[in-house]
Structure 1
Amino acid sequence: MDITIYYTMWDGKNGSHKLLTTAAGQWLSSCGRSVPEEFQIIAKGPYVKPYIGNIRELEFSISHSGTLWMCAFAQKAVGLDVQKTQNCRKDRVSGRFFHPKEDAWLAAKDYEPFFQVWAAKESYLKYTGAGLTQGMDSFSVISEEGLSESTKEVQQRHFLLDGETLLSGQKLLCGPLAVCITAEEIGEVNWVLLTETE
């Protein structure tokens, strides 16, 4: 299954719904689908995972960190998380919230890949729709080789981006970024800089 990720700068306060509708419209147009005049975001289901009511086959997952907004679109369930790397007490957060296997792996690496683990965990929880109700310590995203390419039988794709030129050459100046996508099956990942529409 191919996944398209739209991204743009964002003030972190206003307009996330507008960005979602713009990105959804562009994704539908790129697939040769008609774009409905109105998008109705509905949050129903066992874990209140939101979906667009009048386009049920369109799945999406939104994430933002710092001044960057991203949204992944696919035809089946998808989870996306982006984390801007920053200073924090990684050892304390890992010891308190992560699975013991992850904490031990991070400690051995001086917590350098902390935000990659965080993004992988959040991405999986967004994929399931469970959010933090499941508990971040209830599963591990680490295998014997390191950061796993699958979590509980679904695929994960990991990216560590510099944020300066973010894929399209557009300078976003948002610092280093850890990004993870979770889906049952991941084919091609398409990155699209979100453009405003009239």
Structure 2
Amino acid sequence: MIKILITQAGTGWSGLTKTEQAKWLSAAGKELLAQGISQWFGVRWDCKEEKNRELATERNAWGKPFLVCHPEIHFNISHSGCLAACGFGDEPLGLDIQQCAAADYFRMADRFYTEADRELLRRTEETDRQKAFYQIWTKEESYAKWLGTALPNSIGKEKKEGFCRWFEPMPGYQGAVWTGKQEEIEIQWV
């Protein structure tokens, strides 16, 4: 079972600068990590107290974070728009959430998607195209994060291993989790 904690920025979000929003999202991701490892793994961590080296995070060569002294705890953080999320599992996972926005979907698909995904997008009714575009995008991002590599190393390439589960955290957002085995997901709002 993949467990996902999600939080939404409160009132006053729109009055923040982009820098302030980015800081809030980063802090929210750490708070969700602390809450999840306490709730599901019984490990206490005050993420504001960086002196706790037992729970220090480091990053692999491509930037994927991991807990140095608890390699058995697999997690991944994502944020977009006014949402932050952190997913947890007993195996590596990749999590991505995206706020859906208007875009030149075909131009981006031609640049980044596989031929099969481009064809799927072309066949999708216009009213469903934005959702389809972001489902494909979150699939790509979650796959790269599951592998622990940079997005350019995997985007637009056929996915030959693992499983993707999509979810809609709230209207106007799409999310995906990629794992090595088929698993259910449980979402908890905090």
**TM category, shorter:** 0.7 to 0.9
- Is 1:64 matched with 2:72? no
* Equivalent residue letter for 2:44: V
8 A contact 1:155–1:185 mirrored in 2 = yes
Contiguous gaps of at least 5 residues in structure 1 = 140-150, 164-174
With normalisation by structure 2, the TM-score equals 0.79
Provide the secondary structure at the position in 1 that maps to 2:72.
Answer: coil
- Counterparts of 2:79 and 2:41 in 1: how far apart (Å)? 28
Q: Give the aligned partner of residue 163 of structure 2.
A: 155
- Counterparts of 1:5 and 1:24 in 2: how far apart (Å)? 10
Q: Give the aligned partner of residue 191 of structure 1.
A: 187
With normalisation by structure 1, the TM-score equals 0.76
Worse-superposed segment, 123-132 or 104-113: 104-113
Offset, 1:75? 1.9
Provide the secondary structure at the position in 2 that maps to 1:42.
Answer: strand
- Is 1:22 matched with 2:31? yes
RMSD, matched Cα: 2.1
8 A contact 1:122–1:131 mirrored in 2 = no
Provide the secondary structure at the position in 2 that maps to 1:54.
Answer: coil
8 A contact 2:146–2:179 mirrored in 1 = yes
8 A contact 2:135–2:174 mirrored in 1 = yes
Q: How many residue pairs align between the two structures? A: 169
Residue in structure 2 matching 1:125, options 134, 140, 144: 144
Q: Give the aligned partner of residue 169 of structure 1.
A: none
Offset, 1:29? 2.8
Offset, 1:187? 2.9
Aligned sequence identity (%): 23
- Is 1:75 matched with 2:90? yes
Provide the secondary structure at the position in 2 that maps to 1:138.
Answer: coil
Q: Give the aligned partner of residue 44 of structure 1.
A: 60
- Counterparts in 2 of 1:52 and 1:15: CA distance versus 1, 3 Å: farther
* Equivalent residue letter for 2:139: A
Provide the secondary structure at the position in 2 that maps to 1:93.
Answer: helix
List 4+ stretches of structure 1 deviating above 3 A.
15-18
Q: Give the aligned partner of residue 3 of structure 2.
A: 4
Offset, 1:43? 0.8
8 A contact 1:116–1:160 mirrored in 2 = no
Contiguous gaps of at least 5 residues in structure 2 = 14-20, 47-51
Offset, 1:80? 0.7
- Counterparts in 2 of 1:137 and 1:157: CA distance versus 1, 3 Å: same
* Equivalent residue letter for 2:59: A
Provide the secondary structure at the position in 2 that maps to 1:122.
Answer: helix
8 A contact 2:5–2:87 mirrored in 1 = yes
Worse-superposed segment, 21-30 or 79-88: 21-30
Q: Give the aligned partner of residue 182 of structure 1.
A: 178
8 A contact 1:83–1:115 mirrored in 2 = yes
Offset, 1:25? 2.9
- Counterparts of 2:76 and 2:142 in 1: how far apart (Å)? 9
